[in-house]
Amino acid sequence: MAFENNDRVIVVDHPMVQHKLAILRDKTTSSKQFRELVRELAMFEAYEATRDLPLEEVVVETPVAEATCSIIKGRKMAIVPILRAGLGMVEGVLDLIPAARVGHLGMYRDEETHIPHEYYAKMPEDIAERDVLVVDPMLATGGSLVAAIEYLRKQGVKNLKLMVLVAAPEGVKTVLEADPDVVLYTCAVDERLNDAAYIVPGLGDAGDRIFGTK
Ligand code: PRP
Ligand code: URA
């Protein structure tokens, strides 16, 4: 199903991204390649998610003459992966934003109820002053991301963006309704959830495929 881009849901439809996503979905893709692809896709997505960073002018001396250039106006950023699968996206975002701090939020979905349980949280001290990118490859029911948004808002975070690789329409609706200001980046919005709350067609269990646990 094609999903229309809007102000709050940005589907990164670049041909390189869609090509890599196709390989990521393939059940025969190895754990090693899966990890590499998650990292690469996270970097491409972070490129889109940082498109609105403010710039300032500086003068640089080239070997030929002075050039008026633009650099990013000192902005404090943080990446917050939702454990486990979100860890797979961190290095890709750091490739693009090496100065970002990293907070960790541990959450797992109960297999029966699909309700997320938080088991760990460790944030940079000044998280409230940072622009935060929450990363998790999968947005299914939206329970995990809604819990992450609620946690970060309580910490005082104002500028919050979500980065996932594959989303279900049900989850997209849930996170947008849960927070009026949050913006979501995804490489695809799939058809639906199945009875086990897995994304169809999706790519299976992202955490298991990244860490080879199944
Ligand atoms: C997966 C995924 C998300 C969550 C999405 O994690 O990485 O965090 O499920 O589902 P939801 O939108 O319905 O909340 P999981 O709980 O399987 O834990 P893991 O990363 O440790 O494998
Ligand atoms: N978590 C996953 O890893 N995959 C899904 O399809 C849903 C939740």
User: What pLDDT does residue 2 have?
Assistant: 59
The average pLDDT across 86-103 equals 97
Task: Dump pLDDT digits (tens) for 112-125.
Answer: 898 999 999 999 99
Q: Is the CB of 143 under 6 A from ligand 1?
A: yes
Q: Identify whether 208 is a catalytic site residue.
A: yes
CATH code of the domain made up of 9-211: 3.40.50.2020
Q: Do 153 and 179 meet the contact criterion of CB atoms below 8 Å apart?
A: yes
- Global pTM reads 0.95
Ligand 2 atom nearest to 197, measured from its CA: 7
User: What pLDDT does residue 3 have?
Assistant: 67
Is 137 a known ligand-binding residue? yes
At 14, give phi and psi (nearest 5°): -60, 140
Residues of the chain by 3-state class (helix, strand, coil), percent to 5: 35, 30, 40
Q: How confident is the model at residue 6 (pLDDT cuts 50, 70, 90)?
A: confident
User: What pLDDT does residue 5 have?
Assistant: 78
The average pLDDT across 191-208 equals 97
Run of H or E including 41: helix 31-49
At 19, give phi and psi (nearest 5°): -65, -45
Ligand 1 atom nearest to 114, measured from its CA: 13
Task: Dump pLDDT digits (tens) for 112-165.
Answer: 898 999 999 999 999 999 999 999 999 999 999 999 999 999 999 999 999 999
User: What pLDDT does residue 178 have?
Assistant: 97
DSSP structure class, residue 196: T
Binding-site residues, ligand 2, Cβ < 6 A: 85, 138, 140, 198-199, 202, 205-207
Q: Which residue in the list 29, 109, 153, 174 is annotated as catalytic?
A: 109
Q: What is the mean pLDDT of the chain?
A: 96
What is the C-alpha to C-alpha distance for residues 116 and 145, in angstroms, rounded to an integer? 9
Q: Whose CA is nearest to atom 18 of ligand 1?
A: 108
Q: Is the CB of 147 under 6 A from ligand 1?
A: no
The average pLDDT across 38-44 equals 98
Q: Whose CA is nearest to atom 7 of ligand 1?
A: 85
Helices (H) and strands (E) counted in the chain, each on its own, are 6, 15
How many CA atoms are closer than 13 Å to the CA of 176, on its beta-carbon side? Answer: 15
Does residue 169 register a pLDDT over 60?
A: yes
Q: Which residue in the list 13, 95, 113, 181 is annotated as catalytic?
A: 113
